[in-house]
Structure 1
Amino acid sequence: MISRTQALAACVAFLTTSILGGCAVNPVTGKKQISLISAQQEVQLGQQHYAANQQQQGGQYTIDPALQNYVSQVGQKLARVSDRPQLPYEFVVLNNSVPNAWALPGGKIAINRGLLVLLDDEAELAAVLSHEIVHAAARHSATAMSQQQLLGAGLAIVGAATQNSGYADLIASGTQLGGAAYIARYSRDNELESDQYGMKYMAAAGYDPQGAVRLQRKFVELSKGQQSGGLEALFASHPPSQSRVSANIKHSQSLPKGGISNRAAYQKAIAQLKRDTDAYQNYDDAVAAANNKNFDAALTLVRKAQKQQAKEAAFFALEGDLLSQQKHYKNARQAYDRAIQKNPNLFSYWLKRGMTQIKLKNYSSAKGDLSRSLRYLDSAYAHFYLGEVYEKQGDRQNAYEHYQTAAEAGGEIGTMAQTRIKAIVNKG
């Protein structure tokens, strides 16, 4: 008796060969695999959604630009020896405490600062980046999307944006407002494939493949006994196991011995992150306190973080969230002002300040802020509150159009927009 997974795989294979007339060739392994998405479409998907994904996950880490350059240089070194060096690879560090890394189709790759601080050397960083490069080079996302299309599930979309309304749900959740992320959930075979060929890329680029062995051992240890803490996202998409450690050890035996680890260079590159460890821990603790509605404790913690690292815009944005929750809107606006001064390129700061401007009845300023947020991410929240601004200014046509856009997002914000649409229609 075959399993449900085997039945689905057989169904997919049948549909692919019988209806669509064949499979594509995996550029890395040379094996046949499902692909309803062309290589050109992959590149377009990655380019289209890369910036939006960054916006939803904290934006780029800006405190130490040299770290961005360092990670990009390591990534490009690996990309040049990949099986698809012609892809438009990009590598960014995201300002996110969750230890994770991901790849979009077409070679758009990100790694969170929360993962960088868990690594010991450049070889381990190369292991992470080469793994993600293989996902892009081997067209794993295209295969996952194609399978879901054949099974009637549509594209593999993660991170869609519907949150509950109100400031309580906006606290530190700007990374979750609006848009959708084209980040596939990879199969076990995809993960093993990315480990194997990622180690090959590491060796070709001059790195010690043992970095991949150490990395997987580290992840296995961190996953034991639920001590993973904030590692759930990483382990959900890249599940560690002793079998992966064993497979990496086996792969390493067929690769050249030696290679660089560059521990000193890596430790120098992440030195600012390490110096700011306590500041980010206080910030994360403030977020946890806010989620438990301990707003006074959260304010104390985030203000402590501000003193420890005054350049971090996220610390001031969180203060704005907390003050808004307590209806101290003038002070909240000032906190958002400081966040925007420090990093004007994140949609959520403009969005939240715009929402605060509405509370203060500064409708022209609110319109400017909300419109500015849309430059960075087209979110349902910005459209809803723009609808509110236009409605208060007596411009029902523009209000209707923005509410209509917000309604298409569904969820609670969509329901709220539908309610406002009905009210406008009833007024004639």
Structure 2
Amino acid sequence: NAFALPGGPVVITRGLLLQIDNESQLAGILSHELGHINARHHVKFLEKQLALSMLLQIGSLLVPQDLTGEILLQLGQVSASLLTLKFSRDQEREADKYGFLYAFEAGYSPHGMIEVFEKFKKMEKKRPPEWLSTHPLPESRIKETKEYIATFKPTGILIKDTQKFQEIRNLILQTKESYEYVENGKKAYKNGKRGEAKNLFEKALELYPKNTVASIYLAKLEMEEGNLNKAKEYSEYSLNYDPNFFTANIISGIINFKLKNFENALKFFEKGKSLIPFNGISYYYAGRTYEEKKNFNLALKNYEKALELGPKNESWYKDCYYRYNKLRGF
């Protein structure tokens, strides 16, 4: 799948990258998503949904004992509301038209979009009925794109593929087994099989040392077992490869909080705010840290922002509400 985030970034999943063959196909997919953004198809939907859900749910790590266990850490799992975001067929057609124009103007062969639609046609039997109800039939999209091409009559040298794209695709193929171990490890973790999960994450890291999802899960496991220094090593290892990994920053902040390294903890929580500013969890943890430092004014400000952003259905939200009102004297 592919989807857009507030502010313009477009995300494409590893699974979809493995389905495409060249860079012009990738350009067509990304341009289609940009078409949704510029046509403002999803603005209202996202404004509502992103206030109610978290991209990564890790809220049970610092809350009181009676609240822990309500939410399991789900690393790398993109918000389901974004992945299942449905547009009307007319909106999909409009995004196709914009996508064709953007890809063409960027110098890519417009035939890449046709190739993607042909792949969708082959996958039709595997897709659920609701997908077919919200997307134009691939045959229609192929026909309409060919009409666009006939209208614009593209000439000159257009990009079909690049060596860089193939290098990235090959890397994804080479690391596929490592990420499969991660998925199995996440299932084992969810089912309470901690030893099995740990072995699977270690195997994933052995196969691909830059697998930051595996290393941050190992950090969480070590932290939950009270091995804070070992947990710190894994979280720092993860951030070494990906400093902008949101969950790694939050986990690192929590570990430092537990080690009473409050200044370091705040650096990670502040980084979390900058990475996902519409998520209240970073503000909640920053508030906890300021409260420990006896800086109650900043604690209140962060708690207030966390409560404003939510989401209200997360376990940390209840604790945040309690602490906010306690500091205010209620």
TM-score of the pair, normalised by structure 1 = 0.60
Q: Distance in 2 between matches of 1:204 and 1:394?
A: 56
- Say whether the 8 Å CA contact 2:118–2:142 is kept in structure 1: no
- Say whether the 8 Å CA contact 2:2–2:10 is kept in structure 1: no
Alignment partner, residue 246 of structure 2: 347
Alignment partner, residue 219 of structure 2: 320
Alignment partner, residue 127 of structure 1: 28
Verify: 1:422 aligned to 2:325, yes or no: yes
- Say whether the 8 Å CA contact 2:223–2:255 is kept in structure 1: yes
Q: Distance in 1 between matches of 2:128 and 2:207?
A: 27
Q: With a CA cutoff of 8 Å and minimum separation of 6, indicate the structure with the bigger relative contact order.
A: 2
Cα-to-partner distance string for 1:1-54 (whole Å, 9 max, x where unaligned)? xxxxxxxxxxxxxxxxxxxxxxxxxxxxxxxxxxxxxxxxxxxxxxxxxxxxxx
Alignment partner, residue 396 of structure 1: 296
Alignment partner, residue 184 of structure 2: 285
Which residue of 298, 302, 306 corresponds with 2:205?
Answer: 306
In structure 2, the CA distance between the partners of 1:133 and 1:309, relative to structure 1 (3 Å rule), is: same
Q: Distance in 1 between matches of 2:95 and 2:35?
A: 5
Verify: 1:213 aligned to 2:114, yes or no: yes
Q: Distance in 1 between matches of 2:34 and 2:288?
A: 44
Which residue of 216, 233, 245 corresponds with 2:139?
Answer: 245
- Say whether the 8 Å CA contact 2:210–2:241 is kept in structure 1: yes
In structure 2, the CA distance between the partners of 1:144 and 1:263, relative to structure 1 (3 Å rule), is: closer
Cα-to-partner distance string for 1:94-132 (whole Å, 9 max, x where unaligned)? xxxxx3243757x65443444222211223223213323
In structure 2, the CA distance between the partners of 1:366 and 1:281, relative to structure 1 (3 Å rule), is: same
Aligned pairs (5 A) from 1:70-89: none
Aligned pairs (5 A) from 1:166-205: 166-167=60-61, 169=71, 171-173=73-75, 186-199=87-100, 202=103
Which residue of 283, 291, 294 corresponds with 2:193?
Answer: 294
Cα-to-partner distance string for 1:190-249 (whole Å, 9 max, x where unaligned)? 211222453455566665544323312323444534689xxx9xx69x9555x2333323
In structure 2, the CA distance between the partners of 1:369 and 1:196, relative to structure 1 (3 Å rule), is: closer
- Say whether the 8 Å CA contact 2:215–2:234 is kept in structure 1: yes
Give the C-alpha shift of residue 339 in structure 1. Answer: 1.2
Cα-to-partner distance string for 1:138-175 (whole Å, 9 max, x where unaligned)? x311x665xx5xxxxx8744433455731363624477
User: Identical aligned pairs, as a percentage?
Assistant: 23
In structure 2, the CA distance between the partners of 1:265 and 1:314, relative to structure 1 (3 Å rule), is: closer
Counterpart of 1:159, as a letter, is L
Which residue of 295, 309, 319 corresponds with 1:409?
Answer: 309
Q: Distance in 2 between matches of 1:338 and 1:380?
A: 26
Verify: 1:102 aligned to 2:102, yes or no: no
Q: Distance in 1 between matches of 2:270 and 2:254?
A: 12
SS of the aligned residue for 1:286 comes to helix
TM-score of the pair, normalised by structure 2 = 0.75
Q: Distance in 2 between matches of 1:201 and 1:374?
A: 32
Q: Distance in 2 between matches of 1:104 and 1:407?
A: 20
Q: Distance in 2 between matches of 1:271 and 1:361?
A: 43
SS of the aligned residue for 1:216 comes to helix
Verify: 1:159 aligned to 2:50, yes or no: yes
Cα-to-partner distance string for 1:248-284 (whole Å, 9 max, x where unaligned)? 2354156259976438774344222221111122223
Which residue of 367, 375, 387 corresponds with 2:266?
Answer: 367
In structure 2, the CA distance between the partners of 1:271 and 1:393, relative to structure 1 (3 Å rule), is: same
Question: Structure 1: which 5+ runs fail to align?
Answer: 1-98, 149-153
Alignment partner, residue 8 of structure 1: none
Give the C-alpha shift of residue 185 in structure 1. Answer: 5.2
Q: CA RMSD in A?
A: 3.8
Q: Distance in 2 between matches of 1:206 and 1:376?
A: 31
- Say whether the 8 Å CA contact 1:358–1:366 is kept in structure 2: yes
